[in-house]
Amino acid sequence: MISSGNALDMRIQGNGFFVVSDQGSLAYTRAGAFLKDAANFVVDSDGGRLQGYAANDKGEIASGIRADLQMNTSNVGARATTRKDAANFVVDSDGGRLQGYAANDKGEIASGIRADLQIDTSNVGARATTRVAETINLDASLPSLARLPTFDPDNPATYTRVATRTIQDVGITPVPAADHELKQYFVKTEADQWSMYVLVDGRNPVDPDSVAPLQVSLELKPDGSLSYSGNDQHLRKLSDTEFALQGWVPAAQINGAWAANGSLNGGAVSLPLSDAGASLLDPGDTVMHRPVPHFNPADLNTYSRMFGNQIFDSQGNTHELKQYFVKDGTNSWRLHVLIDDRNPQNSGSTTPLTANIVFDSHGAVASLTGSPGLSSNGDQLKLTGWSPVMAVDPGTGRERWISNGAAGSADGITIDFTHLLQHNAASSRSAAYVDGHSAGELKSLDVGRDGILRAGFTNGMTKDIGQVMLASFANPHGLQPRSDTRWTATADSGVAEYDVPGVGTLGSIVSGALEGSNVVLADELIALIQAQTAYQANSKAISTEVTLMQTLIQST
């Protein structure tokens, strides 16, 4: 085996033959010295086109459809070991075009359909993102961010019921007894569970300087009994229908400030759990709604987890699509979507597009509900109407967002949640996939052991552009020589059977190497003479150095 360093030089490790087409006439060879001609076909030195299977623009190889292998590497500098013919095919040393399986404009290789291998590896244009897919687990053990609203006596939306009555202190001579307003507020937190808040004159009953209420939690048991927990120092249970306020400090507003008025409280104050004969703990009352905090991407306390993806517009500009997951119930989550921290449809707004996700008892998605601009379809969301923008004067008081002149996909962006789960494990993401890409230039070309020619681009993409096909014969010794390295099929050899490298005894492909029996002897002799000359020159230099050292030693 002779290493050449030329990606289109190929050696067969097996019994197969390369197939080349010379103006429609097929020939077979073991000599794998191929080139790219002016028409981007893979040819031998005589212009015969290498046959193989072509790929479409997605890199999918159409197995069984033979084609001339052709490539376009106009942006790649010339190599010393390559040459171009007028048709730009990749050729062998006899000019035959290598036969293989060509790729279509999607990179799909049509295996089994023989063709000249004409490989299109021209620069890759930009493509807007149309699909985002990933495997995500949301931690089932995370607490819900839904919280009871903070109790506010001035906001009826924060409590279920309130009972108001007037109480008196005992006065102090010569000041008569004074009236005070006592309020009991009840918040139904769960079925048969309440929180009771107590204020007198809008102040803490035992600390007039504070407006924080006394609070106790109540639970109605199935047998009708009442249990409680909380401030049992000042709120004592007398029965299942009555509490008592102890340690009340009567207060008054003096010079604009609240302070104890010096009166006595007259002892414990009754706190009945009924009003006008009706229970204040009504099982029919609605449980207080628990809203989630207002979403703010800058506040980690307003969402449970965030995952970001780089996406592309029609000009190949990069943008960041962020998905914020907010746990708002036992198996319920809310999803907020922003692109570049802006509303995808309105760059002047930071309000996200929103969807709701509910999981079943096994942790799989049970329902996915979208909203305008983020519609749902089974386990997928479709984001539509995205207008790519860019920041002008970022980081200054003049910052504004304007169109960058590109567009998003006309069909929108599909966000695939087929593999979205909720299990008791850390929230994580894997196998993220985003289509779309920036523009890229050809960077590399290689041939795999399976004979597939792959192009690498500066944007990180790779693309299958064709696959070499190999031929086998029932009796290879019956082939008829056409030249030093080419044969044709005869009745003695039997008809050629075509397939891809690695099948049966055809063998695999070694790229950048040639069979020793198929190299040009003159070139090898020249290389050998050059190596020998270099060796002799080095030996002479060493001999001269030794002689000089001996002369110097003897003269001392």
Q: What is the residue-averaged pLDDT of the chain?
A: 87
AA identity, residue 419: H
Measure the CA angle with vertex 553, ends 549 and 554; round to 5°: 120
Specify the pLDDT at position 75: 40
CA–CA distance, 47 with 356 (Å, rounded to integer): 62
CA–CA distance, 63 with 200 (Å, rounded to integer): 86
> 311-358, pLDDT tens digit by residue?
999 999 999 999 999 999 999 999 999 999 999 999 999 999 999 999
pLDDT of residue 383 exceeding 50: yes
Backbone phi, then psi, for 50, in 5-degree steps? -65, 130
Tokens in use for 103? 């790729």
Specify the pLDDT at position 73: 46
Task: Give the SS3 label for residue 517.
Answer: helix
Specify the pLDDT at position 82: 27
CA–CA distance, 461 with 466 (Å, rounded to integer): 16
Specify the pLDDT at position 89: 52
CA–CA distance, 240 with 226 (Å, rounded to integer): 5
Specify the pLDDT at position 99: 60
Provide DSSP, 519-531. Answer: S-HHHHHHHHHHH
Beta bridge partners of 27: 20
Q: Do 164 and 123 meet the contact criterion of CB atoms below 8 Å apart?
A: no
Specify the pLDDT at position 299: 96
Q: What integer is the mean pLDDT of 210-236?
A: 94
Q: How confident is the model at residue 67 (pLDDT cuts 50, 70, 90)?
A: confident
Q: Do 112 and 53 meet the contact criterion of CB atoms below 8 Å apart?
A: yes
- The number of beta carbons lying within 10 Å of the beta carbon of residue 528 is 10
Beta bridge partners of 98: 20, 50
Q: What integer is the mean pLDDT of 130-136?
A: 96
Q: What integer is the mean pLDDT of 63-84?
A: 51
DSSP letter, residue 121: -
Tokens in use for 326? 């907010």
Radius of gyration of the chain (CA): 41
Q: Which residue has the higher pLDDT, 556 or 485?
A: 485
Specify the pLDDT at position 76: 33
Element (H, E) at 545: helix 521-555
pLDDT of residue 80 exceeding 50: no
pLDDT of residue 426 exceeding 70: yes
- The number of beta carbons lying within 10 Å of the beta carbon of residue 167 is 18
